[in-house]
Amino acid sequence: MKKVEIYTKSYCPYCKRAKELLRIKGVEFTEYDVTTDPVKEQEMHRRAGRQTVPEIFVDGDLLGGCDDLFDLDEKGELNGILGLTANPGE
């Protein structure tokens, strides 16, 4: 199983959407809420090279943000990146 990490902020609607898509796909992930954690937020900036949330990593590689996640899903590429063989329920 691939290691999925997501940096979020509690009030971010894009973070909620990204986490919901991962949950629908049955993907376990580690969430780092950087809302009030400047150390984790700096870690996110260093790893992602970006300032926005969410930032999603798969096996340590930057996948991107919410739009990137949904774009990959629409292209049919996300399941392979996440190590899934099919969508749950299929």
pLDDT per position as a tens digit, 3-36: 999 999 999 999 999 999 999 999 999 999 999 9
User: Environment class of residue 47 by beta-carbon count within 10 Å: exposed (0-12), middle (13-18) or buried (19+)?
Assistant: middle
What pLDDT, on a 0 to 100 scale, did the predictor assign at position 85? Answer: 76
Q: Which two tokens stand for residue 55?
A: 């930032």
Q: Rounded to the nearest 10 degrees, how much is the dihedral formed by the CA atoms of 27, 66, 86, 59?
A: -50
Quick check: pTM over 0.85? yes
Neighbours of 14 (CB within 10 A): 17
What average pLDDT does the structure give for the chain?
94
User: What is the arithmetic mean of pLDDT over 74-79?
Assistant: 96
pLDDT of residue 68: 98
Q: Which CATH architecture has domain 4-82?
A: 3-Layer(aba) Sandwich (3.40)
| pLDDT tier, 86 (very low <50, low <70, confident <90, very high otherwise) | low
